[in-house]
A = this chain, B = another copy of it.
């Protein structure tokens, strides 16, 4: 049922070489290794497909997105079986993520039928003005073929038919996916679903390709291919920045929409800390360890004013985290990076270890550290994301230092305030700072669990996103793959469908 092949414009294609998957459970399998030639074939077909798909009606695209959702649902059991074996994520998570994936495909279908995203504008002719004003209409158009990188931590919702693919296809852009090697079998089943939907709907087969790969060649070929017009990526800062740099250095630069990570700081304001410290600690431990801490919105850092309440919070958090058993991480490499990130934190001056359970292989147990505000400000390594269930409690000397810590933050996907009404004064001082640092601000919640909706921003200043205006979750994600075009005195017959 899983062939190990690429899907390139409707054809299942073998590779000259293969790579071996590294599932968390069960036997490994061989997958075709993607090359520059595979990417070129896929991009060329995507460009060809654009001439029809890029000019198709919203009804056709919405029908296609819905058909993909249907086909994914029809493959639900296989997706969960293969997905859990490859990633080590639990069954409930895979089932939930499938619902999220089909939900966002259907959401984009209704979003494009609604049409508000087209931002249609019309300045009517004023023939009697001096000089006369021509008739000018505007509409958003798709940009052309888009490259998407599968993400390790969401084998469905941020991968082959995830949010990047859904929003690009919704816009009218064909997609070439570079599959993530952590879940090639899951990727292939999703590609089979999309292939079936292509046949059902009769859209051009070049509209979607999946190139499997565990090397850099395919990814670099994708971002540098002259026919590719934009990139969607979720992953690490190192890999993301390297690909961003390649996009910027092209003869014709293209936008790289990368979501590169975040420490998602949570500020515990004094009255909330006093009133609900233990409860918040328990909630934090849950958010921090959910999915082995492998969420972009994992709240890795808590900032509190030092004192008895902060001590009690640390004790409660330590207790809650100690009861969480070790979980399987997505890949051996991610587990190794988690442990080396932990070592970098542990050996930083002033860092105190509160919880450190032994864990080995692909397993991750939670770690908890504490550091004084001054030491945090001095040691910039602490501000870098450690991907996994590692928490740091920063004890600020006073509120001024808490604000200095906020001012020193890199860009974040989220910042959270834990507050009571009596904390409003402090919250008011922090808000303008946090707003410049993050794409989403929360009060009295936890940032994991990113709602797919109209008002969601899953992005933020660098490095949360390489593009501060972009979100990779929610309907606004479609804006990454469209561009405005004006039509001056254009006969109706020649206007895009959406302007007639």
**Which residues of A are at the interface with B, using a C-beta cutoff of 8 A?**
51, 54-55, 121-123, 131, 133-134, 136-138, 141, 143-144, 229, 244-245, 248-249, 252-253, 255, 410-411, 417, 424, 427-428, 431-432, 435-436, 438-445, 449, 451, 453-457, 459, 461-463, 466-469, 471, 476, 479, 482-491, 493-494, 496
Contact = CB atoms under 8 A, between A and B. Distances in A.
A190 B31 CA distance: 64
A410 B251 CA distance: 11
17 contacts: A51-B432, A123-B453, A134-B445, A138-B454, A138-B455, A138-B476, A244-B253, A248-B248, A253-B462, A424-B491, A439-B484, A440-B486, A440-B488, A443-B489, A469-B479, A469-B482, A476-B484
A485 B424 contact: no
A248 B252 CA distance: 13
A133 B144 CA distance: 34
A455 B253 contact: no
Contact of A436 (B144, B244, B461, B471): B144
B134 A451 contact: yes
Given A137-B455, A471-B484, A443 B490 contact: yes
Contacts of A485: 435, 438-441, 457
Nearest to A248: B248
Nearest to A416: B488
Nearest to A421: B491
A54 B136 CA distance: 32
Contact of A457 (B445, B459, B479, B486): B486
B445 A469 contact: no
Nearest to A481: B469
Given A55-B432, A424-B491, A443-B494, A455 B144 contact: no
A445 B486 CA distance: 14
Given A445-B489, A487-B441, A136 B468 contact: no
Nearest to A122: B455
A134 to B, nearest CB: 6
A487 B441 CA distance: 5
A468 to B, nearest CB: 4
Contacts of A248: 244-245, 248-249, 253
Given A137-B455, A424-B493, A443 B488 contact: yes
Contacts of A431: 494
A456 B494 contact: no
Contacts of A54: 432
Given A144-B436, A484-B471, A493 B457 contact: no
A438 B138 CA distance: 13
A334 B312 CA distance: 70
Given A454-B121, A485-B440, A255 B467 contact: yes
B442 A121 contact: no
B121 A455 contact: yes
Given A245-B248, A451-B134, A439 B486 contact: yes
Contacts of A482: 469
B491 A456 contact: no
Given A244-B253, A432-B55, A435-B141, A486 B123 contact: no
Contacts of A436: 144
A484 to B, nearest CB: 5
A233 B308 CA distance: 54
Q: Which of A229, A424, A432, A488 has the most CB of B within 10 A?
A: A488
A489 B439 contact: no
Contacts of A439: 483-486
A470 to B, nearest CB: 9
